[in-house]
Amino acid sequence: MRKQSFEYQHYNHSVGLAIVHFVFVPKRRKPVLRGEVRNRLTTLWQELAIEKKWNIRACEIAPDHIHLFVEIHPTDPIHLVVKAFKGRSSFYLRKEFPELLKLPSLWSKSYFFSTAGNVSAITIQKYIEDPHHH
């Protein structure tokens, strides 16, 4: 994990902060994310984040689910971020740990995501609904 402040990032034509909370589960919610599998998954995701210039702010790996809090670029579609994390890890983990081949796939097709930033959705809604905008 890199920087921990929640400062807005400056891009070519925009300024903002795009942070997403993901939850992934292994297929059939099997508790396979432990020991060396867990360690290797951490390494694979750190390498991917560096390659893509994403910032993993937090990652909690339980045997049967994962919480991932990652800062992405504003032009990165969320579904492609999911595809990158799940796809790369599935490919390498199933190749390196044959016991994972017992599952039809490593990850469930489903996932949870929620965007986050410096202020809450309620704060933004109150700001927009404030009479000074009329």
Instruction: Write the pLDDT tens digit of every residue in 81-124.
Output: 999 999 999 999 999 999 999 999 999 999 999 998 777 777 77
Give all domains of the chain, ordered by start, each with its CATH number. Answer: 9-133 (3.30.70.1290)
Q: Residue 4's pLDDT is what?
A: 56
Beta-strand pair 55-62/65-71? antiparallel
Mapped onto helix, strand or coil, the DSSP state of residue 56 is: strand
Confidence (pTM): 0.85
Q: Residue 129's pLDDT is what?
A: 83
